[in-house]
Structure 1
Amino acid sequence: MTILRDAGLGQFIHYASGGKYFKHPEESPNFDTSFLREVTDSESAKHEALDSRPISRDGAASALDVDLEKSPTANRTATRSKDGTLLVGWYSEDDVENPLNWSPLKKYSVALIICLYTVSVYLGAAIFSSSQPGVMEDFGVSLIASSLGMALYILAYGIGPMIFSPLSEIPAIGRTTPYLITFFIHVILLIPTSLVDNFAGLLVLRFLLGFFGSPCLATSGASFQDIFPGEQMTYIIGIWAAITSCGPSLGPLLATFSIEHFDWHWSQWEMLMLSGPVLILMVAALPETSAATILLRRARRLRAATGNPAIKSQSEIDQSHLSISSVTFNALVKPWEINILDPAMLFTTFYTGLLYGIFYTFFEAFPLVYEGVYHFSAGGLSLAFLSVFVAQVTIAPSYLLHWRYVVHPGIKKNGIKQLEDFLKPALVSCFALPIGLFIFAWTSRASVHWIVSMLGVSITGCGMYVTLQVIFIYVPLSYPKYAASLFAANALARSLFAFAAILYATPMFEKLGIDGGVSLLAGCTVLCCGGMWVLYYCGPWLRARSRFAVG
């Protein structure tokens, strides 16, 4: 019931009913607030820094049996600060309101909703590729111009995190509010996008769709971190990354056959058919996950129940010290300062951007290869993208099993000797990238069966998955203070590379051919293999001299 109470719909019903339905424990007339009225100095010392106390992270089912309205007030504590403020936190170590103590069912339900949300947004980029021939015909534009529909969408969902990621860290806003508001706008915009009859309007709408769909790309990791303990995060992020990476590979398949029977608008109608139910699910069953926001709302309810304005949460006090200038600087300037001054960070940003750019060149290369060389139909071309899907469902379990039986036991036994140890899988996977790309480049010809080139794509996809996962683990561990802003900047860099790749890919392949163009990209990944090995061996030295990384 709490998942419905804390979701957007439950909060609306609560507000509209004047608090009659979906009540929180603090809003019950039977809720005992005496622990707030009688806080002695000794109690304050005993329960100092309540918000930072160790919390039970195993989500024990026994916590679900606790009745917060009837549990002993001895379990509820508050801390009195020197200025008389009463700081409230979790009522106990097993407080069921703490996202880390949620039941496994609630945690995995929230994770599933976030995955569906992310897939629907990621899929929206690639699904447009099936519409490009129809857009070219209806509006009389070139192939490169028609590809702007996909390129601008990707650019926009790289820009969005620079704004939405900092907003989600403000306790008064939280994670879920930006999700719901922006995705609602995203879904509404799909209606005019499905009906638009002019090219300029189509491009504007596609840009706005990407922008308002971007919060999940910026904040999903933070939402998972809110509810899962550190030892589970590797698996959750790994599964999320594999699921979301399947979105672009499935996009062309979902749209191609309907477009053949109707017109190019159907790719956007199908986005609406997918995103609409996901939005309804989010409104009905996606609760707030930020502990800072949950405690801030608890403090508000306690103030209303007692009439005591001195009751606050620590996050509420911290929020009062935030300024627009500091938030803007940390979001827009600091990550680029770190990239300019820190060679390790600059390399990881460039490498991840290059990989995303290469991934999206496939959407321009596949029609040239599988329609131009192998004479696939439109439906057959869409099936070729499943080579990326196969790569994800093959490599993700292997990678996570490696963590389960090699990495985690090693950490438990010996601890973390140096952060660069997390880069070891990428020392191998980085070579899969040029190998797969060279196979695709030099076997995409009529004399070689098409399955061989697809094998090259799958090898490349496997290398991308492992390399990106390793980098996304290494960066927050090396730069914990700036992790959120660095990931937002990294998302923008990836989108810029992908945006450029979509536009330069066709002219490059026309000039150099598939073999020459893809070989050029493979050569870039060979250089990055060297960079990865340098980072592994020189990383400790670079971190020790960095103003931003942990030593």
Structure 2
Amino acid sequence: MADSSSAPPTRGTASSSEDLFKMRPFTADIEKQAANDSDFDAAATIVGTDGESIRQGDDKFERSEDEQPQDPNIVTWDGPNDPENPENWTDKKKWTSIAVLSIMTVVTPLGSSMFAPGIPKILAEFHETSSTTATFLLSIYILGFAFGPLFVAPMSEMYGRSLLYHAGNILFAIFSVGAALANSIGMLMAFRFLMGLAGSVPITIGSGSIADIMPVEKRGRAMAAWALGPLLGPCIGPIAGGYLIAAAGWRWVYWLIVIVGGVVTIVALLTLKETFAPVILERKAARLRKETGNPDLRSALADNSITVAERFKIAAVRPMKLLLTTPIITLMSLYVAVTYGILYLLFTTFSFVFAQVYNFDEGASGTTFLPAGIGMLIGVVGFGAASDRLVGRRTAAGLAHRPEVRIPPMFTVPAGLALPVGLFIYGWTVQNAVHWIVPMLGVVIFSCGLMGVMMCVQNYLLDAYPHYAASVTAALAVLRSLAGALLPLGGLDMYDALGLGWGNSLLGFIALGLVPIPLLFYAYGERLRKRFNPSV
């Protein structure tokens, strides 16, 4: 084995001055030192304690020649244009990855509600009559979405993004087979929960992948495409599911998911590459250690101060710690959770409202989810593009980017008000048996507002806490999915007690009371971020 002290300089190590163009310190202490060092460019890209990239300004910084460490064993990027660095990927490669991620976030939520029109047949087959069982059969999948991120987020830090995507896709297909073959209501529930766990992978770390590769001025559109999946999937699923169940039975819903999931798995294996910088450099260091025989070569982003077990423990508790100790994340997550829970509560009413009030058959009942999808498409196209335009204008004017630009009143107020307006229209027109097109219009308005709220909140939190991107997304997913799973359990009793008119009005008043939250952070967000700066 070669003597490490006399090993020749290796491509990608710190012995080359240009190779340190994007070398990033890893620990929180170094991060603070770099932020305060007047010799550093203010537009520095550094790495937080969880290894997730922090992007500021143009994402680049340089040290003068005499300041650069001369340790020949540090492995970093091969200069500013290193093609291995995901930030330097071509636009085609970046958008291909985002397209695949977006498809994945549509497919995995399909399992949550695609079989909803067939719930009466499932209950009859397994001799169940409880309305609570029927609701829980739908919502237990979302519980998987709630608990999955607590494991997925820390694992992505240690093993990278791509490995988890591929493992999640394969497990999702396997668990879908189990659901298709279920011979009891308990077995079906168990596999639906496992499908939710596996399906939570792209929803949890997709935003981290986007932050790895996209500059801030293009991130809004990328986030829009990715964020649409968890909402659009449950909307388009029942449309196909209603007719499929009527023609071939509810089990074929899961066989179709297996087929689609299998195709997506193959496409992902061929196209999705690793984007997490610490993992890429660690693999590069391992390759160079093998090629050169120098055991002392190590990644510039490696943190050897803690063990893998300790790192996993810290990363595992980070989402809940952020959720409970950072007011911005707490209140914004609450806003998203309530609106998401209301959406799933509405979903539980569609099957019986349009069947009983408007005499829709089993196949047509699936189309009642279409207005929600239309509203979300309008919201994602409008709010995603407009958000990037605002950031682009500030950048073109030479102004520093502020995360609060993502939540201006001109976006958040109309989006927030659309929620109660849509609920009022839906509830009272159904209550009075007005033509079915009118309550569907209410659902379109509600869904458009929901997408506007989701886009503003997710982009804001990603910009405000970029070094905790995966953990913040996990915190959002946990609270959002818990609300989506649990709120419908008591929702039907609420409708029985209040009726559809006053029941949806109550939900509308709750949504109306949440509208000031983004306004609060638009005005005081910067001050609160400085006061409650997470150190987890």
Fold conserved between structures, TM > 0.5: yes
Alpha-carbon deviation of 1:245? 2.5
Cα deviation code 1:135-176 (max 9, x no counterpart): 110112223202322211111122111111111112xx1111
Return closer, same or farther for 1:517/1:105 CA change in 2, 3 Å cut-off.
same
Alpha-carbon deviation of 1:224? 1.8
State the AA in 1 paired with 2:126. F
Return closer, same or farther for 1:47/1:120 CA change in 2, 3 Å cut-off.
closer
1:298 partnered with 2:284: yes
Return closer, same or farther for 1:490/1:508 CA change in 2, 3 Å cut-off.
same
Question: Which ranges of structure 2 fall in alignment gaps of 5 or more residues?
Answer: 1-6, 25-39, 46-64
Identity %: 29
Which shifted more, 281-290 or 210-219?
A: 281-290
In the alignment, what sits opposite 1:102? 89
Return closer, same or farther for 1:102/1:443 CA change in 2, 3 Å cut-off.
same
Cα distance in structure 1, aligned partners of 2:202 and 2:353: 33
Return closer, same or farther for 1:92/1:203 CA change in 2, 3 Å cut-off.
same
State the AA in 2 paired with 1:168. S
In the alignment, what sits opposite 1:389? 373
Cα distance in structure 2, aligned partners of 1:242 and 1:46: 40
Cα deviation code 1:164-199 (max 9, x no counterpart): 1111112xx111111112221221122121111111
Cα deviation code 1:45-101 (max 9, x no counterpart): 77557524999x9xxxxxxxxxxxxxxxxxxx9x9968x661122223222222222
1:160 partnered with 2:171: no
1:93 partnered with 2:67: no
Return closer, same or farther for 1:150/1:35 CA change in 2, 3 Å cut-off.
same
Cα distance in structure 1, aligned partners of 2:456 and 2:21: 34
1:123 partnered with 2:110: yes
Cα distance in structure 2, aligned partners of 1:37 and 1:156: 44
In the alignment, what sits opposite 1:366? 350
- 2:167 pairs with one of 177, 181, 185: 181
SS of 1:147's equivalent in the other structure is helix
1:402 partnered with 2:402: no
Q: How does 1:212-227 map to 2 (within 5 A)?
A: 212-227=198-213
Alpha-carbon deviation of 1:442? 1.0
State whether residues 180 and 282 of structure 1, in contact with CA within 8 Å, keep that contact through their aligned partners in structure 2.
yes
- The answer to which structure, 1 or 2, has the higher relative contact order (CA under 8 A, 6+ apart) is 2
Cα distance in structure 2, aligned partners of 1:169 and 1:149: 33
State whether residues 22 and 80 of structure 2, in contact with CA within 8 Å, keep that contact through their aligned partners in structure 1.
no
State whether residues 391 and 462 of structure 1, in contact with CA within 8 Å, keep that contact through their aligned partners in structure 2.
yes
State whether residues 255 and 270 of structure 1, in contact with CA within 8 Å, keep that contact through their aligned partners in structure 2.
no
Matched pairs, number:
490
SS of 1:93's equivalent in the other structure is coil
Return closer, same or farther for 1:240/1:487 CA change in 2, 3 Å cut-off.
closer
1:478 partnered with 2:502: no
Return closer, same or farther for 1:323/1:285 CA change in 2, 3 Å cut-off.
closer
Which shifted more, 105-114 or 199-208?
A: 105-114
Which shifted more, 493-502 or 418-427?
A: 418-427
1:134 partnered with 2:106: no
Q: How does 1:118-267 map to 2 (within 5 A)?
A: 118-141=105-128, 142-170=130-158, 173-267=159-253
State whether residues 217 and 388 of structure 2, in contact with CA within 8 Å, keep that contact through their aligned partners in structure 1.
no
Return closer, same or farther for 1:343/1:105 CA change in 2, 3 Å cut-off.
closer
Return closer, same or farther for 1:371/1:526 CA change in 2, 3 Å cut-off.
same
In the alignment, what sits opposite 1:487? 473
Give the TM-score normalised by the residue count of structure 1. 0.82
Alpha-carbon deviation of 1:547? 4.3
In the alignment, what sits opposite 2:306? 321
State whether residues 207 and 223 of structure 2, in contact with CA within 8 Å, keep that contact through their aligned partners in structure 1.
yes
State whether residues 285 and 297 of structure 2, in contact with CA within 8 Å, keep that contact through their aligned partners in structure 1.
yes
In the alignment, what sits opposite 2:359? 375
State whether residues 99 and 225 of structure 2, in contact with CA within 8 Å, keep that contact through their aligned partners in structure 1.
no
SS of 2:204's equivalent in the other structure is helix
Cα distance in structure 2, aligned partners of 1:461 and 1:255: 20
In the alignment, what sits opposite 1:27? none
- 1:506 pairs with one of 488, 492, 495: 492
In the alignment, what sits opposite 2:272? 286
Alpha-carbon deviation of 1:472? 1.1
Alpha-carbon deviation of 1:247? 1.1
Cα distance in structure 2, aligned partners of 1:101 and 1:545: 34
Which shifted more, 491-500 or 415-424?
A: 415-424
State whether residues 374 and 446 of structure 1, in contact with CA within 8 Å, keep that contact through their aligned partners in structure 2.
no
Return closer, same or farther for 1:86/1:150 CA change in 2, 3 Å cut-off.
same
1:423 partnered with 2:410: no
Return closer, same or farther for 1:482/1:283 CA change in 2, 3 Å cut-off.
closer
In the alignment, what sits opposite 2:10? 36
SS of 1:214's equivalent in the other structure is helix
State whether residues 387 and 457 of structure 1, in contact with CA within 8 Å, keep that contact through their aligned partners in structure 2.
yes
Cα distance in structure 2, aligned partners of 1:219 and 1:401: 22
SS of 1:217's equivalent in the other structure is helix
Which shifted more, 209-218 or 525-534?
A: 525-534
State the AA in 2 paired with 1:369. V
State the AA in 1 paired with 2:23. D
Alpha-carbon deviation of 1:446? 5.2
State the AA in 2 paired with 1:400. G
Cα distance in structure 2, aligned partners of 1:307 and 1:347: 52
Cα deviation code 1:92-145 (max 9, x no counterpart): 322222222222332222222211211110111111312311111011222320
CA RMSD in angstroms comes to 2.9
1:352 partnered with 2:336: yes
Which shifted more, 439-448 or 464-473?
A: 439-448
Cα distance in structure 1, aligned partners of 2:11 and 2:249: 68
Q: How does 1:329-344 map to 2 (within 5 A)?
A: 329-332=314-317, 334-344=318-328
State whether residues 231 and 376 of structure 2, in contact with CA within 8 Å, keep that contact through their aligned partners in structure 1.
yes
Which shifted more, 392-401 or 301-310?
A: 392-401
Cα distance in structure 2, aligned partners of 1:321 and 1:414: 41
State whether residues 110 and 233 of structure 2, in contact with CA within 8 Å, keep that contact through their aligned partners in structure 1.
yes
SS of 1:169's equivalent in the other structure is helix
In the alignment, what sits opposite 1:28? none
State whether residues 80 and 86 of structure 1, in contact with CA within 8 Å, keep that contact through their aligned partners in structure 2.
no
1:522 partnered with 2:508: yes
Which shifted more, 472-481 or 146-155?
A: 472-481
Return closer, same or farther for 1:252/1:215 CA change in 2, 3 Å cut-off.
same
Alpha-carbon deviation of 1:508? 1.6
Alpha-carbon deviation of 1:354? 0.3
Cα distance in structure 2, aligned partners of 1:347 and 1:123: 28
Alpha-carbon deviation of 1:265? 1.1
Question: Which ranges of structure 1 fall in alignment gaps of 5 or more residues?
Answer: 1-32, 58-76
Alpha-carbon deviation of 1:266? 1.6
